[in-house]
Structure 1
């Protein structure tokens, strides 16, 4: 016979939460996560209090629901349930290489298992501690390995070539196309190499490419709307970058966190993360890397409506970019070309409701954009459409957004769908136009897909 779950009862009392209220919180969280099969009422909560252990995703949902009410992380063991992976897996920055390897591999393994707790929301505030610890961490010792087979430069090059393949797939078809395969490669191929033997030089290169592969996989999760999971990947990438000794690479990870935070409406955190990237990289950052950091900070400032500061950072981004030379830049910043810079500037001016400048920069971006980046061109065209809408040119706005839909339909990206939805919602304030009806007819299939 089961024993009463006194730990769960104590947490309910502490949270001043009734059985019905907890059941309601669980249903609402499940609905937000797309878990339509989760059913829960006060009778279920009563059974758990009597000692029954809930199945499936419910333990994780209970932990998140009570954690939100209490303002802290609640673990499964806190609830009196069987212990599993810690709910904070992947969210701690570590200066220890061994700890980083273990936590990264655990994250990849649990991701492949589709563990329910990885679907939990992770707040932008949860990134503050990893960011601060990275900022003040001393330089990492040279990496070395003492077990297993010896890893050489060719092995690291093979990881890099595989990463480039996944990057191409992501840019062309969206994060939902091959993300699971990327996780499988990290778990099956990269993790054993991190545990193997290597020289100091090869070890730094190995941890660097592992960090890049990890943040790319996190970016794929971000693109499909798995935001909590993406943040766990970004924090692990930050630890891996630290182990490689590459401070600018760690700053690149914080810049990605900033980009996601801005997308999710965490504008203050987006600015802080971008500033921390530049501060932490310091003089080690190349000109183009500094340009990227400044562009990320400008995006956050634009979203906050701080026009003066945003314009100052945009100028910094342009100046630094013009000072860059391809031979002096790390390979991982190659994506940040002139098209990408002006796309970021166009987004800033769109957020600042400066349609002429947004239009000018969007046209520059599209003029330089490469064919292998259709997702980026889609974002840019929607931004350009918003600038036309702000200028009062509804037909031109709708036709430009319509041009973006051709690529949007085949890209597995929640962000692309959200861009289309934001533009569609902006049309509600315009009134009745034939061009709006035509655009909505084109966009019907994309708008009907849940993000």
Structure 2
């Protein structure tokens, strides 16, 4: 006869401190799982009761449970804090940034490539968003933590990393985050981390290599984000920020803060976004060309719009437009140029900010402008997603026939792309058109047939 399982008193105490019912906690758990691309998790109050009684959830579920309670209690928690310690080596601490980002990104990448269970259960952490704001001295700590270099690194190696990043990024834009993601992570984990531990003839070369590595780490995070692995993406973004801080603690590091804010907004999590956007602006002002600075004002606009501060959002949008008007065609920094043309990004982010403020007519104009700017041949994913956003604004204004035409064009660009974001856009389309399908609108019914073939999830009733 097996021994009786001991109750998990630590988990029970934390649930009591959070003041949340088992049912509400289960709902939060499923919501966080969905944020991280896991739409298969089914949890209810009975499952929570079993965990409190001593049954151990799967490692992935334990990660979501820790994040759910972290948000309720406004402090970072790990599965171990919940009495769910595993035998795996810890990959990431949500309460602190690692002292050595080179070792940390190598460990993270290796666990990612090896498909470690702990990585698959790494939930997106709201608490981790403030770590870059709380620990500004990370560059100095990271530099001191590295061991004696053994490999001589020069401009040739730096150029190779940058060229590989450009090639990987171009393929990502055409084919989606699911294409060659493991190859990106493998290259980062092996060749690039070896270069980072090498010796450099000058400090400028060292900084340049760290800047190149930061771009590649960002791309690894972006590909994870595009596949819906939000927690994993956040960890790559944080390490990218740390690497960028060694290359340029002002402008390049600010771009890392900007990315963290954008990911949170894309997930519908507005907490800390204004702080991140403001901190990024403070670092970048006067240090980059007008086109690049406009991107940071757009981040601030979206953050304020999400926070309900329409006046501040519109002011930031106006500043971004003025900066773009002042553009002299200066070359943007490499870390900012991979995202595409400045005008396309400005119009896209402006449209999203205006959507958040409820100004759908103005949002429609900006999203239409953005769609015209993107080259559908080289950037089919963002072109299609922009069209999907445009169609959503048209539908919300009652222009259903026009929306169906726009969604049809969006679906044209999604064929062959391996991306959770395109699948989510299809799911949103199906939900928006459900009522019109039931009314017999032919265009909506045809889109439903196309959507089912492309793999959008059936919306829940």
TM-score class normalised by the smaller sequence:
0.7 to 0.9
- 260-269 or 344-353, which moves further after superposition? 344-353
Q: 1:350 — aligned with what?
A: 355
Q: Structure 1 residues 164 and 394 mapped into 2: Cα distance closer, same or farther (>3 Å)?
A: same
2:300 aligns with: 297
Give 1:123 shift. 2.5
Match of 1:51 in 2: none
Moved more, 382-391 or 205-214: 382-391
Instruction: Work out which of the residue numbers 403, 406, 425 in structure 1 matches 2:431.
Output: 425
Give per-residue Cα distances to partners, 1:97-131, cap 9 Å, x unaligned.
Answer: xx121111111111112222223322323211223
- Which whole-Å CA distance do the structure 1 matches of 2:15 and 2:446 have between them? 52
2:61 is the alignment partner of 1:61? yes
CA distance in 1 between partners of 2:271 and 2:81 (Å): 34
The equivalent residue for 2:152 is: 150
Q: 1:73 aligns with which of 53, 73, 77?
A: 77
| Larger mean Cα displacement after TM superposition, 311-320 or 76-85 | 76-85
Indicate the residue corresponding to 2:89 in structure 1: 85
Question: What does residue range 378-389 of structure 1 map to in structure 2 within 5 Å?
Answer: 378-389=384-395
* Counterpart in the other structure of 2:19: none
Is 1:201 the counterpart of 2:197 in the alignment? Answer: no
Q: Does 1:441 align with 2:442?
A: no
- CA 1:4–1:160 in 2, change beyond 3 Å: closer, same or farther? farther
Greater shift in the superposed pair: 333-342 or 25-34: 25-34
> In 2, are the aligned partners of 1:11 and 1:66 still within 8 Å (CA)?
no
Question: For each residue in 1:338-362, what CA deviation from the matched residue of structure 2 results, as whole angstroms up to 9, or x when unmatched?
Answer: 2222122223333334343233323
The match for 2:110 is 109
For residue 163 of structure 1, give the secondary structure of its aligned residue in structure 2.
Answer: helix
Matches within 5 A, 1:397-436: 397-428=403-434, 432=439, 433-436=441-444
What SS does structure 1 have at the residue aligned with 2:272?
helix
TM-score (norm 1): 0.83
Greater displacement, 297-306 / 191-200: 297-306
**Cα distance in 1, alignment partners of residues 149 and 112 from structure 2:** 26
Judged with a 3 Å threshold, the aligned counterparts in structure 2 of structure 1 residues 300 and 427 are, in CA distance, closer, same or farther, namely farther
Equivalent residues in 2 for 1:245-284 (5 A)?
A: 245-284=248-287
User: Which secondary structure state, in structure 1, belongs to the residue aligned with residue 268 of structure 2?
Assistant: coil
| Residue-pair matches, total | 435
Aligned CA-pair RMSD: 3.6
Task: Check conservation: 1:303, 1:352, Cα contact below 8 A.
Answer: yes
d(CA) in 2 for partners of 1:142, 1:9: 41
Gaps of 5+ in 2: 17-21
- Indicate which of 355, 363, 368 corresponds to 1:363: 368
Preserved CA contact (<8 Å) 2:430 2:458: no
- Contact between 1:254 and 1:276, CA under 8 Å: does it hold in 2? yes
Query: Is contact 1:92–1:130 with CA below 8 Å preserved after alignment?
Result: no
